[in-house]
């Protein structure tokens, strides 16, 4: 290639790649929103579905979604932070324990969601006796988002290696360094990891059909079965003739809530960036 052409071609390739990414996202969002946005209203958000979801709203589905993802994040947070602190503080980076932990997290990340569903059904619904419930679904999702949340938490804690060293140099004990320095300093990054996990959890359907079920009633407690947004979309699109309109409206709500949560966590992460200028 002629030397003068090279920067031009490089530039073109990069721009084309960026355009492709943006276009794919824009196409999906447009497709969903143009068909669904008109049906989203205050009534749609606050009433129960009727006629198997063809009519009515999604109020119990929203509540179940919030409950399932809430349980998932609440259970994943201590597990992910615990694993990350263990990897950073308790064991050397290349020890057997560290490699084993990372290996397990890697395998967990690669397990297909349908397998999580079956395992969650066996462990939480059967063995622990939770039945088809929001609790069983949330705990299954917690295991799914654990690898990414733990990985991001570990990376963030390692970014604060200087603070850790400063803490030890001051004669502070390990518990003080972890609780008063590392975790508060790494909190924005840890929550960003949870935000990524939320994106995966809220979009999940396969793992939830076998664990939290798809009862569309308003749940009374976490021991009730509940249907999430993604499961509702799947059901309307696959099993309910004439449910397309509400499927797109529900998908619009799902996209909007993911965008809102991602924006929230990005804002938190951005704050961390400013602190370190």
121-180 residues in contact with another protein (CB under 8 A) are 160, 162-163, 165-173, 176, 180
What is the closest distance, in whole angstroms, from the C-beta atom of residue 98 to another protein in the complex? 10
Nearer to another protein among residue 184 and residue 242 (C-beta): 184
Which of 223, 276, 232 lies closest to 254 in space, CA to CA?
232
| CA dist., res. 135 & res. 182, Å (int) | 31
What is the closest distance, in whole angstroms, from the C-beta atom of residue 152 to another protein in the complex? 18
255-274 residues in contact with another protein (CB under 8 A) are 272
Among 11, 30, 55, 93, binds another protein (CB under 8 A): 93
Which of 62, 61, 65, 104 lies closest to 86 in space, CA to CA?
104
Cα dist from 275 to 2, 10, 157, 158, 272, whole Å: 45, 34, 15, 16, 5
What is the closest distance, in whole angstroms, from the C-beta atom of residue 17 to another protein in the complex? 34
Site string for another protein, 12-31 (x = CB under 8 A): --------------------
Nearer to another protein among residue 7 and residue 173 (C-beta): 173
Q: Which residues pair with residue 55 across a beta bridge? A: 50
What is the closest distance, in whole angstroms, from the C-beta atom of residue 121 to another protein in the complex? 42
Cα dist from 144 to 99, 185, 224, 244, whole Å: 20, 26, 21, 29
Six-digit token string for 177: 């360094």
Six-digit token string for 63: 């509540």
Six-digit token string for 6: 């090279």
Six-digit token string for 275: 């602190």
Total site size for another protein, rule CB under 8 A:
24
What is the closest distance, in whole angstroms, from the C-beta atom of residue 5 to another protein in the complex? 42
Nearer to another protein among residue 51 and residue 170 (C-beta): 170
Nearer to another protein among residue 135 and residue 190 (C-beta): 190
Contact between 99 and another protein (CB under 8 A)? no
197-256 residues in contact with another protein (CB under 8 A) are none
Among 68, 105, 185, 222, binds another protein (CB under 8 A): 185
| CA dist., res. 135 & res. 268, Å (int) | 28
| CA dist., res. 75 & res. 112, Å (int) | 20
What is the closest distance, in whole angstroms, from the C-beta atom of residue 106 to another protein in the complex? 22
Phi, psi for residue 24 in degrees, rounded to 5: -60, -50
Among 72, 81, 181, 194, binds another protein (CB under 8 A): 181
Among 82, 184, 242, 270, binds another protein (CB under 8 A): 184
| CA dist., res. 39 & res. 54, Å (int) | 12
Q: Provide the 10 A C-beta neighbour count for residue 109.
A: 14
Interface residue list for another protein (CB under 8 A):
92-94, 160, 162-163, 165-173, 176, 180-181, 184-185, 272, 275-277
């Amino acid at each position: 290639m002629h030397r003068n052409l090279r920067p031009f071609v490089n530039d073109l390739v990069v721009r084309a790649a960026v355009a492709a990414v943006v276009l794919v996202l824009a196409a999906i969002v447009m497709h969903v929103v143009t068909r669904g946005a008109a049906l989203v209203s205050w009534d749609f958000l606050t009433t129960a579905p009727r006629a198997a979801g063809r009519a009515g709203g999604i109020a119990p589905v929203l509540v179940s979604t919030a409950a399932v993802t809430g349980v998932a994040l609440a259970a994943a947070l201590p597990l992910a932070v615990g694993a990350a602190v263990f990897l950073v503080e308790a064991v050397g980076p290349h020890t057997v324990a560290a490699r084993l932990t990372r290996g397990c997290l890697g395998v967990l990340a690669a397990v297909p969601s349908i397998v999580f569903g079956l395992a969650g059904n066996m462990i939480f619904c059967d063995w622990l006796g939770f039945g088809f419930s929001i609790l069983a679904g949330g705990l299954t999702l917690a295991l799914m988002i654990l690898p990414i949340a733990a990985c991001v938490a570990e990376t963030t804690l390692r970014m604060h290696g200087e603070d850790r060293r400063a803490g030890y140099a001051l004669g502070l004990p390990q518990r003080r360094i972890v609780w008063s320095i590392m975790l508060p300093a790494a909190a924005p990054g840890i929550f960003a990891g949870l935000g990524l996990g939320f994106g995966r959890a809220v979009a999940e359907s396969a793992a939830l059909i076998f664990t939290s079920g798809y009862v569309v009633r308003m749940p009374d407690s976490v021991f009730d079965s509940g249907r999430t947004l993604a499961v509702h979309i799947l059901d309307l699109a696959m099993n309910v003739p004439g449910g397309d309109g509400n499927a797109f409206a529900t998908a619009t709500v799902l996209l909007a809530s993911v965008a809102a949560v991602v924006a929230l966590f990005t804002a938190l992460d951005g704050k961390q960036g400013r602190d370190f200028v």
